Structure 1
Amino acid sequence: MLKLSSREANFSERLAALLDFETAQDPAVDTAVADIIQAVKTQGDAALLAYTARFDRVQVAQAADLEITHDELKAAFTRLPAETRSALEAAAGRVRRYHKHQLAHSWEYTEEDGTVLGQKVTALDRVGIYVPGGKAAYPSSVLMNAIPAKVAGVGEVIMVVPTPGGERNDLVLAAAFIAGVDRAFTVGGAQAVAALAYGTATIPAVDKITGPGNAYVAAAKRRVFGIVGIDMVAGPSEILVICDGKTDPDWIAMDLFSQAEHDEIAQAILLCPDANYLAEVEASIGRLLPTMPRRAIIEASLKNRGAMIEVASLEEACQIANYIAPEHLELSVEHPEHYLDQLRHAGAIFMGRFTSESLGDYCAGPNHVLPTSRTARFASPLGVYDFQKRSSLIRVSADGADSLGRIAATLAHGEGLTAHARAAELRLKST
């Protein structure tokens, strides 16, 4: 792993270079995605069948065969070992309970002149959730995307998941059953995003698409934004650990591995004021790495984008963390609450030595779909609020039309919009 010190004269430049990563910007990827989207938009199911055969090596007679029935979802759930079923149900229950706290409700108030102002909150009609199915299967992603939508009151949740070689993952299908997914299709890649955005004879068009994917999925979501809503354009997984040097170094090494094993371009960074402790973690990494089944991926991730950074203090670590704005931030210190007010930018903050990031990925309750690539500076985790929208309510009384109309008319005349002004003035009381 790269070793840095905040005391270095060029530290800021080296840190910026380490973080430099833009999602879905490869021109070749973007060109390919544009062609796929156009084909699905114009050819519908025929294009879906062709791309599914080409990319996933799955050939079916008709597009309807791409759908996974509710009975098949239930059967997958039934096939799971009892312990696995219980774990999925427990995770789903915790995710559902947490997200119920996020529900927004309509409200209104009445002013002295009788004018009523308020906000109407409504759920989206139909959403699509993308579930990766390439390098690994992610039933947790099903729970994290579908459950908030259901809690929000979304009318219909459509799931798309690639099944390379025709291999269907029972965990993913069982998670869809538990989460209440309404319809599911064995389609992936940019073609699945296009189908959800524009609709085909088989797959209905949705209002919003959420869920992570590879560079092609990210590029497709970027392109269809505006036709539909999207949650975010997700980049590689990230973890930033701030440690005071007193946590078991094996724990921290494994926490770094937990994100590095996702992808060769995932990022794992450790900040600590204790140089000796950084050396201990490095030794743990060297000892534990050979035991990991995904060793090659972890090794490439740590080498390409990982770093150990010696800082002057934990307060400085918080300042650096705010600049990095990580997806996952572990605050592995004695009194994490003492530093919480200093941390402004992070997708999720894991407080204390026993709070491993992996618990958040699966079952703590908060959503694991988080802003990446420094977007935590302005973005938030996926939640119920992503599946609700707000409409303003305005009911002006006769007295209100008189008082507000004079204000509006004055401002409208100032902008040169005479019709706006006259519309307000026609409702004024006689002067």
Structure 2
Amino acid sequence: MSELSITRLTTSDADFDQKLNALLAWESVSDKSVNKIVDDILLDVKNRGDEAVVEYTNRFDNTSVESVAQLMLTQARLQQALDGLPTEQRNALEKAAERIRRYHDKQRGESWSYTEDDGTMLGQQVTPLDRVGLYVPGGKAAYPSSVLMNAIPAKVAGVGELIMVVPTPNGELNELVLAAACLAGVDKVFTIGGAQAVAALAYGTQSVPKVDKIVGPGNIFVATAKRAVFGAVGIDMIAGPSEILVVCDGKTDPDWIAMDLFSQAEHDEDAQSILVCPNAEYLDAVEASISKLLPTMERQAIIEVSMRERAALIHVVDMDEAAEVSNRIAPEHLELSVEDPKAMLPKIRHAGAIFMGRYTAEALGDYCAGPNHVLPTSGTARFSSPLGVYDFQKRSSLIMFSEDGASETGKIASVLARGESLTAHARSAEYRIKD
């Protein structure tokens, strides 16, 4: 293996901004040929329903079913998967589910109202979505943790029905994924995937119920389909490759940091791992750890491509500048591997999840810390948040005027409506003004 070369950037260099922009550049869901394929599948499923779903499933997943009924899994099958797990796996899954549920219980929004002096009542009613679709990758790329992270907050929110779709290439079922669905309270499971599954959820078919929102990760065809159906249904986000940014003061064991960077790089070749530190010698030490540890990794080939093409070691002047660079990047995962992370926290404005202190590996957040691991990527943490209970609830404004309130407030509305030349608005309010 040739020596792995990792991009080095220094904030004092004149071309730092240009190089950082090039490193961060990522265009997701922009392939015209993929868009054409997805659009055709969406229209076909919309028009032909179950028949189209069966055809695409047989074609893409190498199955030979004749009806969507054959693609449904019963609750008994989910329970069988849970009961059949080795004790160690079942215990880990149950403990993770409990931690995730306990955290998300704190997020549940409640309705509220207040009454003004004249008897007018104003407020907000919080209600759960009726039905949500959860997309789960299938086959070998199966993530039971994603089932828990998407399904549990939906159930905490009070979603009436949760429909899971998961492709099963060559009929391959992942028992851990099914067990997680059982634990999380998924109501129905269909073994379909790809754009055809997104279409079935978005538009409904004879067998697959139409949902109000689709959440969960998938490949470029799934992401493209989710973007295309947005508006007909809600979606969680269009996610880019996984990212980690580690801000370190140079005092953490460099092997730890190298492995933290690997923890994202092993996802796929497009994943991005960045280390920011004011100590150039420490950056050298971490690079040496990367070279030492890389040959020991099962997913060495993937990690090597990711680290060579998308990783960076960034030298900054001090920790204040490290915080500025972090905010500029707005990472999905941010590790503050420093002596006093709480003191640094006020300087951090943009990050999906913040892992504080030397002992807080990002990997804990992926599985069992409690907060959601579905996070904004590609700099979108500047304006968006982790998936949570609030994504499965909606808010309705409550307005109830008393007679006196309608009279006084109607005078304000009348003036403003006539200022906009909307006289029907004005007269509607004026009818309720007392003489």
Corresponding residue number in structure 2 for 1:4: 9
**Alignment counterpart, residue 194 of structure 1, candidates 188, 195, 199:** 199
1:119, 1:393 within 8 Å by CA — same for their partners in 2? yes
Corresponding residue number in structure 1 for 2:31: 26
Amino acid in structure 2 at the alignment position of 1:385: Y
How far apart, CA to CA, are the structure 2 residues paired with 1:396 and 1:89?
49
How far apart, CA to CA, are the structure 2 residues paired with 1:309 and 1:13?
14
Corresponding residue number in structure 2 for 1:210: 215
Instruction: State the superposition RMSD in angstroms.
Output: 0.8
**Alignment counterpart, residue 129 of structure 1, candidates 129, 134, 152:** 134
Q: Is 1:51 paired with 2:50?
A: no
How far apart, CA to CA, are the structure 2 residues paired with 1:316 and 1:28?
42
Structure 1, residues 152-190: CA drift from partner, whole Å, max 9, x if none?
000000111111111100000000000000001111111
Corresponding residue number in structure 2 for 1:221: 226
Q: Secondary structure at the match of 2:133?
A: strand
1:209, 1:228 within 8 Å by CA — same for their partners in 2? yes
Corresponding residue number in structure 2 for 1:268: 273
2:250, 2:282 within 8 Å by CA — same for their partners in 1? yes
Deviation at 1:290, TM superposition (A): 1.2
1:116, 1:396 within 8 Å by CA — same for their partners in 2? yes
Amino acid in structure 2 at the alignment position of 1:136: A
How far apart, CA to CA, are the structure 2 residues paired with 1:301 and 1:28?
25
Q: Is 1:85 paired with 2:90?
A: yes
Corresponding residue number in structure 1 for 2:338: 333
Unaligned runs of 5+ in 2: 1-5
How far apart, CA to CA, are the structure 1 residues paired with 2:337 and 2:168?
38
How far apart, CA to CA, are the structure 1 residues paired with 2:273 and 2:157?
33
How far apart, CA to CA, are the structure 2 residues paired with 1:309 and 1:133?
36
Amino acid in structure 1 at the alignment position of 2:226: K
1:68, 1:184 within 8 Å by CA — same for their partners in 2? yes
How far apart, CA to CA, are the structure 2 residues paired with 1:135 and 1:268?
24
Q: What are the equivalent positions in structure 2 for 1:163-174 lying under 5 Å apart?
A: 163-174=168-179
Q: What are the equivalent positions in structure 2 for 1:2-401 lying under 5 Å apart?
A: 2-134=7-139, 136-401=141-406
Structure 1, residues 53-89: CA drift from partner, whole Å, max 9, x if none?
1211122121111111111111011111001000000
Q: Secondary structure at the match of 2:30?
A: coil
1:238, 1:259 within 8 Å by CA — same for their partners in 2? yes
**Is the alpha carbon distance of 1:322 and 1:100 closer, same or farther for their aligned partners in structure 2, counting shifts above 3 Å?**
same
How far apart, CA to CA, are the structure 1 residues paired with 2:315 and 2:146?
34
1:22, 1:373 within 8 Å by CA — same for their partners in 2? no
More off after superposition, 282-291 vs 78-87: 282-291
Deviation at 1:365, TM superposition (A): 0.1
Deviation at 1:103, TM superposition (A): 0.6
Structure 1, residues 331-388: CA drift from partner, whole Å, max 9, x if none?
0011111110000000000000110000000000000000001000000000000000
How far apart, CA to CA, are the structure 2 residues paired with 1:226 and 1:373?
22
**Is the alpha carbon distance of 1:7 and 1:135 closer, same or farther for their aligned partners in structure 2, counting shifts above 3 Å?**
farther
Q: Secondary structure at the match of 2:202?
A: helix
2:139, 2:174 within 8 Å by CA — same for their partners in 1? no
Corresponding residue number in structure 2 for 1:424: 429
How far apart, CA to CA, are the structure 2 residues paired with 1:29 and 1:2?
31
1:133, 1:162 within 8 Å by CA — same for their partners in 2? yes
How far apart, CA to CA, are the structure 1 residues paired with 2:408 and 2:323?
50
Structure 1, residues 271-316: CA drift from partner, whole Å, max 9, x if none?
0111111111111111111111111111111111111111111110
Unaligned runs of 5+ in 1: none
Amino acid in structure 1 at the alignment position of 2:334: L
Structure 1, residues 32-72: CA drift from partner, whole Å, max 9, x if none?
11111111111111111111112111221211111111111
Amino acid in structure 2 at the alignment position of 1:43: R
Q: Secondary structure at the match of 1:181?
A: coil
Amino acid in structure 1 at the alignment position of 2:68: A
Q: Secondary structure at the match of 1:339?
A: helix
Deviation at 1:135, TM superposition (A): 5.2
TM-score, with structure 1 as normaliser: 0.99
More off after superposition, 159-168 vs 408-417: 159-168
2:139, 2:173 within 8 Å by CA — same for their partners in 1? no
Amino acid in structure 2 at the alignment position of 1:214: N
Q: Secondary structure at the match of 1:317?
A: helix
Amino acid in structure 1 at the alignment position of 2:209: P
2:133, 2:214 within 8 Å by CA — same for their partners in 1? yes
How far apart, CA to CA, are the structure 1 residues paired with 2:263 and 2:62?
30
How many residue pairs end up in the alignment?
Answer: 430
How far apart, CA to CA, are the structure 1 residues paired with 2:298 and 2:192?
28
Q: Secondary structure at the match of 2:245?
A: strand
Structure 1, residues 102-121: CA drift from partner, whole Å, max 9, x if none?
01101111001110001000
Q: Secondary structure at the match of 1:137?
A: coil
Q: Is 1:410 paired with 2:415?
A: yes
Q: Secondary structure at the match of 1:254?
A: helix
How far apart, CA to CA, are the structure 1 residues paired with 2:253 and 2:140?
30
More off after superposition, 248-257 vs 87-96: 248-257
Deviation at 1:7, TM superposition (A): 1.1
